[in-house]
Structure 1
Amino acid sequence: MIVNEEFLGKIRRDFALNLYEVKLWTALLSRGISSAGELSDMADVPRSRTYDVLESLERKGFIVVKPEKPIRYMAIAPDEVLLRVSKRLAEEAEVRANRLNNLGSSDVLAELTLLYKQGVEPMQPTDFSGTLKGRHNLHDHISMLAKTAEKSINIVTTEDGIIRKAKFLKPVFEKAKDRGVKIKIMAPINDLTKESLDKLKDVAEIKDIKGMDSRFMIVDAKQLMFMLMDDKAVHPTYDIGMWVNTPYFAGTMQNMFDLAWKQK
């Protein structure tokens, strides 16, 4: 059986299967009903692994074992499998979320926090820096910085950047404003960004920016996060940001931001 490798890769990602699982499942889909030996040959999966993998597929709801000798396996319609997998993943996510929520008041979190504080104490200022990859991780770190802000959050961003921030970060900005944090944003104001900027105007001062295709954030003139890639040219998975906790550098960038703000 010849199946496009790109197609197999997509199935692996979408259905959270390993390589042997996806090979045997697609082989069985093409046959309807088959034995482990036949599937092993068709999918090019070692026979010593085939039974274990088929058992895993059965547990996950992808196939059915027929009660006969020799044992044979029957495929389940893909649309039914999709419903089963969606339900299973939702249930697993709920269990994991509840478990993590319960950690908030547990001894485990207290011990982890103690370990973190003990590790932070001997760190040098230059240790408080790092590289982040992937837009999801960038948003998470921006959110974390906003949560720690005490006085100010100043942001320079692009058309796409302000749309994303209005969508994902407004609740964090609202809480920062409630704490008395002053938020200023410089972003392009045009037909594409108007709706997003309208959502943010009640939590931040906003000014138009032209001729500066940059993305960075300054918090309390102490912490700085800046993006290294053009967000129009890079896939979100490969977007990269740098975070530094240095009043010297962040303070310099704050002065530049203030100067640009006054000129707008």
Structure 2
Amino acid sequence: MKLVNKLKAFGFSDYEARALTALLSQGEMSAKEISLISGIPRTSVYDVMDSLVSKGFVEAYGKPRKFKALQSDEIIKIISERVNQDLEFIKKELPKFESAKIEEVRVYRGDLVLEKLKEFTESAKESIYGMLSYIHDDVKAILEMARCKLVLMSFNASTVRNAEAYEFTRKELMEEHKDYCNGMLVFDDIKTIFMFKGENVLAIVSESPVIAMFAKEMLNPLLESLKKKIKNER
């Protein structure tokens, strides 16, 4: 019955919904009569009715006990009030869980950028993938601390010891980029640093796997292009 299914959606058990609709259709009934009309096993009827009484939808009286449902408008009012209470609770509590999952992005400046780069490099266990316009000596020294797979794309990537290096070959552009170390690095597919290093040093740092995945998707086409170019030149 469709009504039974709808009542179940509002927290009634199958037996409770069947008992309540039986009472509404027949009026006052005994446990035996409820069992016959609703199909609820006689051994379960009293438990079901006690539950409906405790929830305020049914009244019980007399010996032997008789049961009577509230009027339909009263039942609807109780359900509506409880649904509204639940909605208010959800409105209050649900954002707390959402805010706990917000991916935090931080901005670092000056020496803190290199400190964060060092922290991420030393803690990386699987891989570091990066693309930097030009790798300055201070950045190079930190990246050489890596104890994992290190894949770098840059005008001077081959100067970094133990790196799988892929270099841009337009030397005239390299001179323009020597004053800058701009690009991105992804650590273990979890942490990301977007670096802007020139006269001033700034980095956007994330520990979100989602942002790391986005950064890798940006890096991969360039990496594949450089690999293909090197293969064709051989």
Q: Which bracket does the TM-score occupy, shorter chain normalised?
A: 0.3 to 0.5
TM-score normalised to structure 1 length:
0.38
Larger Rg: 2
TM-score normalised to structure 2 length:
0.43
